[in-house]
Amino acid sequence: MKREFRELLRERGRTELPRVLLAAAECAPLSKTGGLADVVGTLPKALKKLGIDARVITPYHRCIKDKYASQVEHMFYFYTNLGWRHVYVGLERLELDGVVIYLVDNEDYFGDKIYRGGMPEGEQYSFFCRAVMDVIPNLGFEPDVIHCNDWHTAMLPMLGHTQYPGQIQDRAKYLLTIHNIAFQGKFGFDFVQDMLGVDAKYYTPEFMELNGCADFLKAGCVFSDRINTVSPSYASEIKMPYYAEGLEGILNARHDVLTGIINGIDKVTFNPKADPTLPARFDRGHLKGKAACKKSLQEQMGLEQRPDVPLFAMVTRMTEQKGFDLVACVLDDIMSREDMQFMLLGTGDERFEKFMAAAERRYPGRLCAYIGYSETLSHLVYAGSDFFLMPSRFEPCGLSQMIAMRYGSIPIVRETGGLRDTVTPYNRFTGEGNGFSFANFDAWEMRDTMRLALECYRNDEIMHGLIDRAMQADFGFDRSAEDYARHYIWML
């Protein structure tokens, strides 16, 4: 055990590292729609290296059942009450890379869609929270800390402290990690009362009421022992109304327990030196394989076979968060003036999907919009592109820019949240930096920054320096895991 941890534990009269149960809606590689899954999949492995027994509890989604059913071990089942409903809760257990993952089974709630949207999603995750609370005493693993992630699991601390007094669920400490404050789980109080039997005395602005709704994430902010978000910059931003989506009051009130811990990436899954999904592998200083990946990407996506043309890429959920308005505004301007290619891999809002599909028809051989989700293709896009565009309106952390850097694709980002904390803009006077950035959420600023990147692309020395520094940056999870470990110990 690290000496620092031993000393922190001694101050709390403890000798053993805390046991941690991470609760989340998705967990890579089992289920994934975005970065939350990556974090929940990677953090426990990194914590294990520090000697912390961290386990995960997540829904047994259909996509997991399809792939892992033969490896899963059935633990037990029972029925629980969800309002007037009497519902089945199965608990399955799976061990992946030495990490224990508990899977909550109920086929009515966890079918094809990880997120059903609207009230059905409220019901899915009310059920999940209730099931988590009810299985805890029977796990044979008493967690000291329950680590909740986003609104889907944010009701756990309130349920634990108000509905299970004196029991394990109440004795545990709760850490709430906010991965995205834009999603809060807002419902009518009647619905929440019906689902989870929440006492009406908690439906006040002091507890879970916000703008006439019962707000799961707010309840989490109120009842958790500590709150963190996924970058220091976002931790400051969410104290301001522009970013906080109405939660600035509670977050300012709890500023003493609110911190930012930057995410890391899984350096084994994302490793250009050994990535089995790529047609060729590469490393800092040995970039031949990267050129081969670019060729293969162009070939597969119907882009002109030109090694010399700069290739910009995006791999993303297509939502307002990710700055698609900016892309829509200046795409034609830049595509018509510059000799460049553009590759998008993404899925999301219909209007953005349609816009990109139409753009593909306007620029045949130069622009490819692959609307869909593909893990394998994403690796090739990171590896085969020269620049990675991420002009987010807000970005709690962002993993894509870190993955891109690891694969030598130079990020072009807006200076917000984790993008600001991970990308150092190129400085033409000192030659420092590992990417490009712009400050305002402004399409023309983004276009000018893309032009600066294009200028640099024509200078081999500058470009090689950028690639070298980007690939050198250490975005592993070990540092973040140490920070989480400290937080867990502080809460004991």
With CB under 6 A as the contact rule, which of the stretches 33-41, 111-119, 275-283, 332-340 interacts with ligand ADP? 33-41
Q: Which of 21, 23, 35, 281 binds ligand ADP (CB under 6 A)?
A: 35
The listed partner (ligand ADP, ligand GLC, none) that binds 391, CB under 5 to 8 Å by sort, is: none
- Name 262's Cβ contacts closer than 8 Å, sequence gap at least 6: 230, 231, 232, 397, 418, 421, 422, 479, 480
Told to check if 395 binds ligand GLC by CB under 6 A, we report: yes
CA-CA distance, 381 to 379, in Å (whole number)?
A: 5
Task: Pick one of ligand ADP, ligand GLC, none as the site partner of residue 230 (Cβ within 5 to 8 A by kind).
Answer: ligand GLC
316 binds, among ligand ADP, ligand GLC, none (CB under 5 to 8 A by kind): ligand ADP
Which lies closer to ligand GLC via its Cβ, residue 185 or residue 398?
398
Bridge partner list, 55: 21
Closer Cβ to ligand ADP, 188 or 372, answer by number:
372
Going by the DSSP 8-state scheme, the letter that residue 283 receives in this structure is B
Q: Does 196 bind ligand GLC (CB under 6 A)?
A: no
User: Which one of 39, 132, 227, 261 is in contact with ligand GLC (CB under 6 A)?
Assistant: 39
CB of 38 or CB of 275, closer to ligand ADP:
38
Per CB under 6 A, 130 contacts ligand GLC: no
Provide the minimum distance between the beta carbon of 85 and ligand ADP in the complex, in angstroms, as a whole number: 32
Asked if 208 and 241 touch (Cβ cutoff 8 Å), the reply is no
Tell me how far apart the alpha carbons of residues 258 and 252 are, in angstroms, rounded to a whole number: 9
Binding ligand ADP (rule: CB under 6 A), the pick from 206, 299, 375, 455 is 375
Instruction: Mark 289-328 with x for binding to ligand ADP (rule: CB under 6 A) and - for no binding.
Output: --------------------------xxx-----------
The two tokens of residue 85 are 């409903």
- Tokens 């990946």 locate to 293
- 393: contact with ligand GLC by CB under 6 A: no
Strands 436-438 and 410-414: what pairing?
parallel
* Smallest separation, CB 425 to ligand ADP (Å): 19
For residue 306, give the DSSP letter.
-
The DSSP bridge pattern shows strands 186-187 and 213-215 to be: antiparallel
Chain residues 230-249 in contact with ligand GLC, contact rule CB under 6 A: 230
Choose the one of ligand GLC, ligand ADP, none that binds residue 314, judging by a C-beta under 5 to 8 angstroms depending on kind: none
DSSP 350-400: HHHHHHHHHHHHHSTTTEEEEES--HHHHHHHHHH-SEEEE--S--SS-SH
Q: For residue 51, which amino acid is it? A: G
Among 396, 408, 411, 425, binds ligand GLC (CB under 6 A): 396
Among 220, 346, 391, 425, binds ligand ADP (CB under 6 A): 346
- As a whole number of angstroms, the distance between CA 462 and CA 77 comes to 60
In whole angstroms, what is the distance from residue 342 CA to residue 344 CA? 7
Structure tokens at 364: 């045949």
Q: Which residue is nearest to ligand GLC (CB)?
A: 35
Establish whether the linkage from the previous residue to 18 is cis, with ω within 30° of 0: no
In sequence order, the 6+-apart residues with CB closer than 8 A to the CB of 263 are 35, 38, 39, 230, 231, 397, 399, 402, 418, 477, 480
For residues 471 and 435, what is the distance between their CA atoms, to the nearest angstrom? 11
Distance CA 400, CA 389 (A): 10
Residue 374 contact, options ligand GLC, ligand ADP, none, Cβ 5-8 Å cut-off depending on partner type:
ligand ADP
Interaction site with ligand GLC (CB under 6 A) = 34-36, 39, 179-180, 230, 263, 395-399, 418
Interaction site with ligand ADP (CB under 6 A) = 34-36, 38, 315-317, 345-347, 373-375, 378, 397-400, 403
